[in-house]
Amino acid sequence: MNAATPAGSAGSPGASSIVTIPLNDPGEGLTEAEILEIKVAVGDRVEINAAVVEVETAKSAVELSTHVAGTVVAILVAVGDEVPVGTGLIQVDTAGGPVPSPAPQPAAGHRSADVQPSSPQQISAQPEADPSAEELAAQATAATAVSAEAAPEEPKNLVGYGTQAAPQRRRRRLAEPAQSDDGQQVPIGRILAKPPVRKLARDLGVALHDVLATGPEGTVTRQDVLNAQQRAYGGEVDGDYFPEESPQAPEGLGGAMKSTRDQPFSGVTSDDRTTRVPIRSVRKRTAEAMVASAFTAPHVTVFNEIDMTGAVQIVSQLRASREWTDVKISPLAVIAKALLVAIRRNPEVNASWDEANQEIVYKHYVNLGIAAATPRGLIVPNLKDAHLMTLRELAEGISELARTARAGRTSLRDTRDGTITVTNYGVFDIDSGTPILNPGESAILGVGAIKEKPWVVDGQIVPRQVATLSLSFDHRLIDGALGAELLRDVSAVLEDPSLGLVWG
């Protein structure tokens, strides 16, 4: 975010130096976002490009900054608000004068009905204590009057910066006050929690206003959040709220990352029989994409159980190699390389269906998607031009996708223009599945858990590392024979990695 909307024109009579910083569309099709964190407070001095608000879009968490410098005089949104593009976020006084005393702010996730998010911050002037307070109050009043007079006029905006007037945004349902063990109500108008506790609540999908606070002065503690999550979902909960990863997964990512709960906890119903949560953010977008894919592209899935011993041995050798000590290498990188080799041998599979133009678009590049389950839901970032990458570059790229996804920093660019995807549900100790195509892609390769099983080798039963591969593809683009050929070639490279040198 790098735009601001002035409340008045500088230099004109009665002009205001107060600038409203709106939520803008960065050109990625953003329509709304949820406020995750407000990084400034009334009275703070901000410089150009300073991060002021963190929001969650359909795919990731994004820090928004301002291109004006000045003093923050108003916070127009609260943590937990879902606001459309064009909504004012904060107001900055670019004159840099004394800061008026702010009116009481609403608690995170709640807003009083009489507070208008698009109006300037109300001023509590104290003339006796501050001789300049009357001037400041007059300035703010003049700014409000100028804004009111200019309201009928159509605002003039820079292209790509959204609308000036913020549309009415949806308001959250106010939760009922929680009750303590002695039956007394705990006020919800003021939620105290340290940043690490707030992050834990977001990761677990727990709304702080539904947590019974037991800390000093009503502070929400880490254990309070864990207790609330346990009540919502049942079962044992401790500090390690994510299970250990499978050795099959690269650092935090493997086609499906650690098991997480991505939905925010809204509240258990009065009869304790159900829990209701809103559908929003990544979960909403995932549902829309999966429904569109399932009912647009006719899916076909083929399976093959293979001997992965050779591929597993290569991974072990590379991990022990001094040249690879700084690289996180996993079977997923080898599987990705095998898929790229197979695509080179069967280039017709790398295509998309253009319904509007009634064309099949064959692509001479591979943007390889890596499906990832993150704390905010399922996303599929892709490695651009993966067909040009060496095994080492693939391993480094997958590790980088993992770090970015875990941090919630996956960009919309990273999730667009994918061609074929790999999803690794083997990290959950699952043997096989029928994955759904990522919209617009031709195929998705599913990788099951690699397990030691009895296998026939040269007429003898011996223990081998075995896994099941599943390939789902769009039957409009790929016939059964071509799909089987692709899966057979992937399997051949993984069973005999030397073929990668011959075919690659």
Active-site positions?
A: 475
* Residues linked to residue 302 through DSSP beta bridges, in sequence order: 471
Would you state the structure tokens that stand for residue 95, as one six-digit string?
A: 């004159």
Which of 118, 47, 44 is closest to 81 using CA atoms?
Answer: 118
CB 221 within 8 A of CB 208: no
Specify the pairing of strand 359-362 against strand 351-354. antiparallel
Q: Alpha-carbon torsion 436, 440, 443, 449, what sign? A: negative
Query: What φ, ψ does residue 361 adopt, rounded to 5°?
Result: -105, 110
HSE-CB of 485 using CA atoms within 13 angstroms: 12
How many C-beta atoms surround the C-beta of residue 312 within 10 A?
20
Would you state the structure tokens that stand for residue 501, as one six-digit string?
A: 């040198």
Query: What φ, ψ does residue 429 adopt, rounded to 5°?
Result: 65, 35
Q: Which residues contact 414 (CB under 8 A, 6 or more apart)?
A: 381, 382, 401, 404
Which of 487, 500, 353 is closest to 419 using CA atoms?
Answer: 353
Residue 243, exposed/middle/buried by CB under 10 A (0-12, 13-18, 19+)? exposed
Q: Which residues contact 234 (CB under 8 A, 6 or more apart)?
A: none
Residue 170's Cα: distance from chain center in Å? 21
The dihedral formed by the CA atoms of 352, 355, 360 and 366, expressed in degrees to the nearest 10: -20
* Residues linked to residue 166 through DSSP beta bridges, in sequence order: none
SS3 99: coil
CB 201 within 8 A of CB 212: no
Our separate counts of H helices and E strands in the chain read: 9, 24
Residue 220's Cα: distance from chain center in Å? 25
Q: CA 89, CA 105: separation in Å to the nearest integer?
A: 14
Q: Alpha-carbon torsion 388, 392, 393, 397, what sign? A: positive
